[in-house]
Amino acid sequence: MSIPTEQWAQVLEKTGGNVVYKKIPVPKPGPDEVLVNIKYSGVCHTDLHAIKGDWPLDTKIPLVGGHEGAGVVVARGNLVKDVQIGDYAGIKWLNGSCLQCSFCRTANEPLCPTPDLSGYTVDGSFQQYCIGKAAHVARIPKECDLEAISPILCAGITVYKGLKESGARAGEYVAIVGAGGGLGSMAVQYARAMGLHPIAIDGGAEKEKMCKELGAVAYVDFLTSKNIVEDVKKVTPEGYGPEAVILLAVTEKPFQQAAEYVRPKGTIVCIGLPANAFFRASVFDTVTRMINIKGSYVGNRQDTAEAIEFFRRGLIKAPYKVVGLSKLQDVFDLMEAGKIAGRYVVDTSC
Ligand code: NAD
Ligand code: ZN
Question: Does any ligand 1 atom lie closer than 6 A to the CB of residue 340?
Answer: yes
pTM (global) more than 0.85: yes
Measured between alpha carbons, how far is 250 from 97 in angstroms, rounded to an integer?
A: 27
Question: Does any ligand 1 atom lie closer than 6 A to the CB of residue 180?
Answer: yes
Closest atom of ligand 1 relative to the 222 alpha carbon: 19
Measured between alpha carbons, how far is 281 from 213 in angstroms, rounded to an integer?
A: 32
Helix axes 328-336, 45-52, angle to 10 degrees: 90
Question: Does any ligand 1 atom lie closer than 6 A to the CB of residue 69?
Answer: no
Closest atom of ligand 1 relative to the 203 alpha carbon: 11
Q: Is 303 helix (H, G, I), strand (E, B) or coil?
A: helix
- DSSP per position, 39-68: EEEEE-HHHHHHHHT-SSSPPPSSB---S-
Contact 190, 310 (CB under 8 A): yes
Closest atom of ligand 1 relative to the 297 alpha carbon: 40
Closest CA to 299 of 70, 109, 135: 109
Question: Ligand 1 centroid to 184 CA: how many Å?
Answer: 7
* Per-residue pLDDT at 138: 98
Closest atom of ligand 1 relative to the 343 alpha carbon: 3
Question: Does any ligand 1 atom lie closer than 6 A to the CB of residue 335?
Answer: yes
Q: Is the dihedral of CA 247, 96, 67, 152 positive or negative?
A: negative
Strands 343-347 and 320-324, how do they pair?
Answer: parallel
Using the 8-state DSSP alphabet, how is residue 26 labeled?
A: P
Closest atom of ligand 1 relative to the 271 alpha carbon: 41
- Mean pLDDT per 10-residue segment, the chain (350 residues): 94 98 98 98 98 96 98 98 98 98 98 98 98 98 98 98 98 98 98 98 98 98 98 97 98 96 98 96 96 98 98 97 98 97 98
State pLDDT tens for residues 70-114.
999 999 999 999 999 999 999 999 999 999 999 999 999 999 999
List Cα–Cα distances, 6 to 26, 120, 128, in angstroms. Answer: 5, 21, 9
Pocket test for ligand 1, best of 54, 220, 250 (most atoms within 8 A of CB): 250
* Per-residue pLDDT at 338: 95
Question: Does any ligand 1 atom lie closer than 6 A to the CB of residue 35?
Answer: no
Q: Is the dihedral of CA 344, 271, 192, 254 positive or negative?
A: negative
* Class of residue 24 by CB neighbours under 10 A (exposed 0-12, middle 13-18, buried 19+): middle
Segment (H or E) for 101: none
* Per-residue pLDDT at 6: 98
Any residues with CB less than 8 A from the CB of 154 and at least 6 apart, and which?
Answer: 42, 44, 46, 67, 68, 92, 93, 298
Measured between alpha carbons, how far is 117 from 132 in angstroms, rounded to an integer?
A: 10
Question: Ligand 2 centroid to 304 CA: how many Å?
Answer: 13
* Per-residue pLDDT at 1: 65
Question: Ligand 2 centroid to 337 CA: how many Å?
Answer: 18
Closest atom of ligand 1 relative to the 250 alpha carbon: 32
Phi-psi domain of 276 (left: phi exceeds 0; alpha: psi -120 through 50; beta: other): left
* Per-residue pLDDT at 131: 98
Question: Does any ligand 1 atom lie closer than 6 A to the CB of residue 130?
Answer: no
Pocket test for ligand 1, best of 45, 51, 111, 189 (most atoms within 8 A of CB): 45
Cα angle for residues 184, 187, 193 (degrees, 5° grid): 150
Pocket test for ligand 1, best of 41, 43, 46, 227 (most atoms within 8 A of CB): 46
Measured between alpha carbons, how far is 236 from 238 in angstroms, rounded to an integer?
A: 6
